[in-house]
Structures are given as structure tokens and as C-alpha cells.
């Protein structure tokens, strides 16, 4: 009779997806020796080598390892469903919950919502993933996350979006920028000014589409995929940028002041909400997290919350 645990299978899958024990250790927050021991035990129990050790390229699954990885994912998914069923029968909220979050506001909203949900539901084990929009779609379709906190950017028809909050765009400039003293700024005011573009999938399309509405193109001076770098570049005078999320203070990461000015005119706001597969809400823990987010946003609890709550969408 084979002797192995679900935890060992979880470590096996983590190594298979990460390609190394060190990266898998970071993903599941477990020491590398513990993961190595789990892999060795599985290889002993199965009587098969699961990975080829390649010092330069890390670990690659063997042919047998690839087949067992697929089945291990199925076993773990079935185990999660068993835990969810037990919670439904007992009336408790329990089991794993994998949450994705768009990188542009992962540091602002998700930690607040996650901590309070865990305090209210101590039997729930949460894993979070900071992702761009394209990665969120992929993770949801591969069932690597249960739901994601994100924007309504180019949403595919096979995923379900529950809108939580309307977030209008702001123009971000430093204190010495010619527009810094304005109470509001139009897109026409920005024409010819250098722009710092947050160059993430779908996000950049949204910001550029604002100018397309008036038949114009911005002057892109800098591009970066890191929101913190955007703020530092703006604070140091490399140009203006757009944002739909205001931090709790008006300082860039290097400590210099920033100014947030509402963007006036007929511009489309972003909607922040929860994106999930169409059958995800069948799980009680997912339904509970959706209600949890709705309640905190309706009450205006989120840190730095500037948007307008939008329920029932």
C-alpha cells in the first residue's frame, strides 16, 4: 500500500510548476529541505524517478513525473472539493482559498481584506498571487486560483465578473509640474507633455485608449511594468502618469511628493471587482469571500478608498 500525504503531493506539484526546489519553497512557504524530503519520499513510494536533476536548468519532470503531476493535480482538486463539501454540510467556512490580485493594487487592498477574512474564518487557508491581467485569466482557466481582485479590462466571456467599486482616473504629477495646481485636468491639457506609461497587459491599452477617444496620441517618454517605478519617475520629473488607485500618502517610494489631480471630461472609469470561473461560487468559501469584500467596500473600510461602491452588478 502506498503511503504518501496530500502535503507531499502539494510540494510535488509546486516543484513541477516552479522548476526548482528553491522556487517551490518560496511558493508554498516551506523550507527547501522539507520539500526535498517530500520528493524523495514520493520517489521511494512510487518506485520511480520524478525529476531529472539539471544543475544549470533546475529540475525537469521525467516522463513518469509528468503523468503523475497531472494526476496529483486532480487528487489535490478533489481533496479541496471534499473539504468544501464538509464545510457546506457542517455550515462552517473552511478549506483552501487561492486569491489572485492585480499587481497595481495588491499592496493596497488585498492584505486588508485577506487579514480580516482569515480572522473571521480561522479554518480557511489562503494563498495569494500578484499577477497582471493576462496572468489572471490564465491562472483562473487552469484553476490555479479560485478568484481574483482585478479591473474590468477586456474580460473574456468565459469568466464572471462581480463589480465592487468604480475607480475614476487621476493624473499623477510632481509638485513642480505646470499642471500641479489645477483642480482638474483634461486630456487636451496633457497633449505634448511627456508621459510615464505603466506598461502592463491590458492596463496600458486602457490608458492609451483615453487619448484615442479624442483622436490623439500621448508622448510616451518612459515605460515600466512596476507601479512603484512609475511613481518615482513622475516624482523626479520624467513626466505625468495615470492611476485609478490612490495610496494612503502622496509620497513616491523615494520620499518625494506627488500630486493626484482628477481627470475631467467624458472618460471611462475602471471598475474593480472579483473575477472567477462561472461555477466558482458553488464553493462556500468563495461565496463567503465575495460577501466579505462587498461588506467592507460598502462600509468604506478599505485603506485609501476613493472610489464609489457598486453592488449588485
**Whole-number average pLDDT of the chain:** 88
CA distance linking residue 67 with residue 54, whole number of Å: 20
Q: What is the pLDDT of residue 78?
A: 82
219-249 pLDDT, tens digit each? 999 999 998 999 999 999 999 999 988 777 8
123-126 own/partner pairs: CB under 8 Å, 24+ apart: 123/87, 123/92, 123/93, 123/94, 123/95, 124/93, 124/94, 124/95, 124/96, 124/97, 124/285, 125/95, 125/96, 125/97, 126/96, 126/97, 126/98, 126/99
Highest mean pLDDT among 83-87, 242-246, 290-294: 290-294
Q: What is the pLDDT of residue 54?
A: 73
Query: What's the per-residue H, E or C state across the chain?
Result: CCCCCHHHHHHHHHHHHHCCHHHHHHHHCCCHHHHHHHHHHHHHHHCCCCEEEECCCEEEECHHHHHHHHHHHHHHHHHHHHHHHHHHHHCCCCEEEEEEEECCCCCCCHHHHHHHHHHHCCCEEEEEEEECHHHHHHHHHCCCCCEEEEECCCCCCCEEEEEEEEECCEEEEECCCCCCCCCCECHHHHCCCEEEEECCCCHHHHHHHHHHCCCCCCEEEEEECCHHHHHHHHHCCCCEEEECCCCCCCECCCCCEEEEEEECCCCCCEEEEEEEECCHHHCHHHHHHHHHHHHHHHCCCCCCCCCEECCCC
51-65, 149-163, 181-195, 206-220: least confidently modelled range: 51-65
- Give all domains of the chain, ordered by start, each with its CATH number: 6-76 (1.10.10.10), 92-166+270-309 (3.40.190.10), 169-262 (3.40.190.10)
- Identify the band that residue 254 occupies on the pLDDT scale cut at 50, 70 and 90: very high
Residue 312 has pLDDT above 60, yes or no: no
97-143 pLDDT, tens digit each? 999 999 988 888 899 999 999 999 998 989 899 999 999 999 898 88
163-175 pLDDT, tens digit each? 998 988 999 999 9
- Identify the band that residue 282 occupies on the pLDDT scale cut at 50, 70 and 90: confident
Q: What is the mean pLDDT of the segment spanning 195-218? A: 92
Instruction: Identify the residue whose cell numbers are 491581467.
Output: 133
CA distance linking residue 245 with residue 109, whole number of Å: 10
- Identify the band that residue 313 occupies on the pLDDT scale cut at 50, 70 and 90: very low
1-10, 149-158, 192-201, 281-290: least confidently modelled range: 1-10
Q: What is the mean pLDDT of the segment spanning 141-147? A: 87
Amino acid at each position: 500500500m502506498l503511503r504518501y500525504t496530500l502535503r507531499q503531493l502539494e510540494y510535488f506539484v509546486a516543484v513541477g510548476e516552479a522548476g526548482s526546489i528553491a522556487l517551490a519553497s518560496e511558493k508554498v512557504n516551506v523550507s527547501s529541505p522539507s520539500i526535498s524530503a517530500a520528493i524523495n519520499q514520493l520517489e521511494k513510494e512510487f518506485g520511480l524517478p520524478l525529476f531529472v536533476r539539471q544543475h544549470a536548468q533546475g529540475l525537469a519532470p521525467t516522463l513518469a513525473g509528468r503523468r503523475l503531476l497531472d494526476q496529483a493535480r486532480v487528487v489535490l482538486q478533489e481533496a479541496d472539493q471534499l473539504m468544501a463539501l464538509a464545510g457546506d454540510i457542517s455550515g462552517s467556512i473552511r478549506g483552501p482559498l487561492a486569491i489572485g490580485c492585480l499587481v497595481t493594487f495588491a499592496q493596497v487592498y488585498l492584505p486588508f481584506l485577506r487579514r480580516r477574512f482569515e480572522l473571521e474564518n480561522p479554518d480557511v487557508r489562503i494563498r495569494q498571487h500578484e499577477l497582471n491581467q493576462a496572468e489572471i485569466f490564465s491562472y483562473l482557466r487552469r484553476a490555479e486560483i479560485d478568484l481574483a481582485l482585478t479591473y474590468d479590462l477586456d474580460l473574456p466571456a468565459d469568466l464572471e465578473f462581480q463589480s465592487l467599486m468604480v475607480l475614476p482616473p487621476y493624473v499623477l504629477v510632481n509638485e513642480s509640474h505646470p499642471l500641479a495646481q489645477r483642480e482638474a485636468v483634461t486630456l487636451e491639457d496633457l497633449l505634448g507633455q511627456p508621459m510615464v506609461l505603466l506598461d502592463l497587459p491590458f492596463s496600458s491599452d486602457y490608458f492609451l485608449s483615453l487619448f484615442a477617444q479624442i483622436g490623439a496620441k500621448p508622448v510616451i517618454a518612459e515605460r515600466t511594468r512596476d507601479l512603484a517605478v512609475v511613481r518615482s519617475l513622475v516624482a523626479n520629473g520624467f513626466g505625468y502618469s495615470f492611476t485609478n488607485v490612490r495610496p494612503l500618502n502622496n509620497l513616491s517610494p523615494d520620499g518625494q511628493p506627488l500630486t493626484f489631480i482628477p481627470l475631467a471630461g467624458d472618460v471611462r472609469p475602471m471598475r474593480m471587482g472579483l473575477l472567477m470561473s462561472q461555477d466558482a461560487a458553488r464553493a462556500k468559501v468563495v461565496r463567503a469571500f465575495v460577501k466579505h469584500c462587498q461588506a467592507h467596500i460598502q462600509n468604506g473600510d478599505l485603506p485609501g478608498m476613493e472610489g464609489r461602491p457598486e453592488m449588485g452588478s
